[in-house]
């Protein structure tokens, strides 16, 4: 018994240390931000802020999309951000896609339409790596799901660039980031104050941009969150009512049994 207790005590004492090493030593946990999509008990009342999603999409378009694809998102999905059909058509029409083959067997370029996926910045991964000093900018469609604590992590990453500590040798194109495992990130700080123009008077700061792009990316990775939470809430109410009814039925059925 004693031996077993000592064994568990040792395991518990060592576990956090070893997991800290596994995550790159001194990578801090991203601080939790308050998000509208996580409001309520267990995030039950969470909804997306459409204005923030639109601003986030603007940042993706004007900044991130020059390196990062979002292959799983289609222009028509932008309806969820509050755009109408004509606005979506107009947005898609700003892009060109390769289509084909035509009757003669040739590929051809045409204007994008709402049923097209977001256009990738590079033809393939090799081209993407070549343009980024050997590092592959990951597709951002599911990034907030692909990383632990994804929304807080991406926010922390975008706002977590720091002066490299003395003695840290960064290779060409690497940047010191507090929240990136290993800290050496092959992405230059993509956002800075005043970089993207907001028409609705929202502050044009690094923090606000980061909040907005994170909300957009969270929506992209989980577009059905609102419907799912609504359904979950209804199921919960139903189960509580049903349990009450069953309790009453049970009481009644056994009422005469003494
Ligand atoms: C100039 C190209 C470039 C731009 C612009 C850019 N990125 Fe990156 N990004 C990269 C590269 C390259 C990597 C891979 C870095 C690595 O693995 O070290 C990366 C990695 C990432 C990662 C993954 C980090 C991880 O945990 O692996 C996220 C998240 C990310 N970028 C978000 C963004 C967002 C959001 C924007 C727009 C605000 C943006 N990036 C703009 C090149 C870019």
Per-residue model confidence as pLDDT tens digits over 8-38: 555 555 554 444 444 446 899 999 999 999 9
In this structure, of 21-35, 41-55, 56-70, the range with the lowest mean pLDDT score is 21-35
* Residue range(s) of every CATH 1.10.760.10 domain in the chain: 23-73+120-248
Tokens of 19: 């997991």
pLDDT at position 8 is 54
Terminal alpha carbon distance of the chain? 48
Average pLDDT across the chain, whole number: 92
The mean-pLDDT minimum among 10-14, 101-105, 190-194, 218-222 falls in 10-14
Q: What value does the mean pLDDT take over residues 134-155?
A: 98
156 lines ligand 1 (CB under 6 A): no
pLDDT digits (tens, 9 = 90+) for 215-242: 999 999 999 999 999 999 999 999 999 9
How confident is the model at residue 198, as a pLDDT? Answer: 98
- Residue whose CA is at the smallest distance from ligand 1 atom 13: 137
Pair 72, 117: CB distance under 8 Å = yes
| Closest CA to ligand 1's atom 12 | 137
Positions of E strands within the chain: 96-99, 108-111, 175-176, 184-185
Q: Is the predicted pLDDT of residue 7 greater than 80, yes or no? A: no
CB 243 within 8 A of CB 236: no
Q: Is the CB of 66 within 6 Å of ligand 1?
A: yes
C-alpha closest to that of 115 among 142, 143, 93: 93
**Choice between 165 and 7, residue whose per-residue pLDDT is larger:** 165
Specify the residue with its C-alpha closest to ligand 1, atom 16.
Answer: 186
Q: Can you tell me which atom of ligand 1 is nearest the CA of 64? A: 37
pLDDT of 183 > 80? The answer is yes
Please give the pLDDT value at position 12: 53
Residues paired with residue 1 on neighbouring β-strands, in sequence order:
none
In the reported structure, the alpha carbon of residue 64 is separated from the centroid of ligand 1 by a whole-number distance in angstroms of 7
**d(Cα 4, Cα 44) in Å, to the nearest integer?**
41
Q: How many C-beta neighbours within 10 Å does residue 48 have? A: 22
How many angstroms separate the Cα of 205 from the Cα of each of 159, 187, 258?
Answer: 11, 19, 73
Q: Whose CA is nearest to atom 14 of ligand 1?
A: 137
Ligand 1 touching residue 138 (CB < 6 A): yes
**How much is the average pLDDT of 179-186?**
97
CATH class entry, domain 23-73+120-248: mainly alpha
């Amino acid at each position: 018994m004693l031996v077993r207790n000592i064994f568990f005590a040792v395991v518990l004492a060592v576990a956090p240390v070893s997991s800290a090493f596994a995550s790159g030593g001194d990578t801090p946990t991203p601080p939790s931000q308050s998000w509208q999509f996580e409001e309520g008990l267990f995030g039950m009342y969470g909804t997306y802020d459409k204005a923030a999603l639109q601003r986030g999409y603007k940042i993706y378009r004007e900044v991130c999309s020059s390196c990062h694809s979002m292959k799983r998102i289609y222009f028509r999905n932008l309806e969820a951000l509050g755009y109408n059909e004509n606005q979506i058509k107009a947005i898609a029409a700003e892009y060109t896609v390769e289509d084909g083959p035509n009757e003669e067997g040739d590929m051809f370029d045409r204007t994008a339409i709402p049923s097209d996926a977001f256009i990738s910045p590079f033809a393939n991964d090799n081209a993407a790596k070549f343009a980024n000093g050997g590092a592959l900018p990951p597709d951002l469609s599911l990034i907030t799901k692909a990383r632990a604590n994804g929304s807080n992590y991406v926010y922390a990453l975008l706002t977590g660039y720091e002066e490299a500590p003395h003695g840290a040798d960064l290779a060409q194109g690497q940047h010191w980031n507090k929240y990136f495992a290993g800290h050496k990130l092959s992405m230059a700080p993509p956002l800075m104050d005043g970089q993207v123009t907001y028409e609705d008077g929202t502050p044009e700061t690094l923090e606000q941009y980061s909040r907005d792009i994170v909300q957009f990316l969270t929506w992209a990775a989980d577009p059905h969150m609102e419907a799912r939470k609504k359904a979950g809430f209804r199921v919960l109410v139903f189960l509580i009512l049903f349990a009450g009814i069953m309790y009453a039925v049970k009481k009644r059925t056994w009422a005469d049994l003494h």
